[in-house]
Each structure stands twice: as structure tokens, then as C-alpha cells.
Amino acid sequence: MTTIDVYRATTVEDPYGDPQAGVWELWATFDGKAGWGNPDEPLAAGSNTVITNRTVYIRAAAPSGILASDEVEVDGTRYAIDGAVAEWGDPHKGTQFAVKGVS
């Protein structure tokens, strides 16, 4: 099992009253697994950027409450959630989502 730390940003208002992400705080910790995807390398002159893709799986008796706007830390690396968070039910219960990190 792998520890999955979920971080959620507080919401603050900018000077115009629009909501903006504030401080990222640890929201929850789960036991789960994370599989590797194929890294992407954008085709750009002089670029050495690598995008790392992973899929995270959490098995739990209740919905996790994880949002697509959250970030997760897996194996010491912080990732943004990439797309929708899927909650699945009977007979197996859990959560699945893709993440990506840029280095």
C-alpha cells in the first residue's frame, strides 16, 4: 500500500471579489495504490519538460470526497488531479483518478 495525501486549497477573494485558491492544506490521508503511465514530452524547441502521468486507486467503504481541484502527494511527489474523480460502488468500493506532474 502507498500513502496518498490529499491537499485542498482554502478559498480567498481577490480584490475584485472573485474566488481564488489560497493556502494548500493537508485535507485527508488514504491508503491506496498508484500505477505509472507513459511520460509525455511536449514537442517544443529547446524544451526538456517531462509530464509524468499516474493513476491513483483508493479502496474505501465510503466515498472519499476527493475533488478534481485537489492535489495529491504520492511517494513524496505532489501531483495535480487530471480530469474527473471516479467513485465506484458495489461489489467493490473505492475511488480512482488520474494525476500528472510536470518536471
**CATH number of the domain residue 30 falls in:** 2.40.10.270
- Which of the pair, 75 or 52, is modelled with greater confidence? 75
Q: What is the 3-state secondary structure (H, E, C) of 43-101?
A: CCCCCCCCEEEEEEEEECCCCCCCCCCCEEEECCEEEEECCCCEEECCCCCEEEEEEEE
Q: What is the pLDDT of residue 70?
A: 94
The pLDDT confidence band at residue 44, using thresholds 50, 70 and 90, is low
**pTM for the full predicted model:** 0.79
Q: Which domain holds residue 34?
A: 2-102
- Which of the pair, 39 or 19, is modelled with greater confidence? 19
The pLDDT confidence band at residue 43, using thresholds 50, 70 and 90, is low
Q: What is the 3-state secondary structure (H, E, C) of 5-34?
A: EEEEEEEEECCCCCEEEEEEEEEEEEEEEE
Q: Quick one: average pLDDT of 74-82? A: 93
The domain tally of the chain equals 1
Given a cut of 90, whether residue 13 has pLDDT beyond it is no
Q: Could you tell me the sign of the dihedral formed by the alpha carbons of 63, 68, 74, 76, in that order?
A: negative
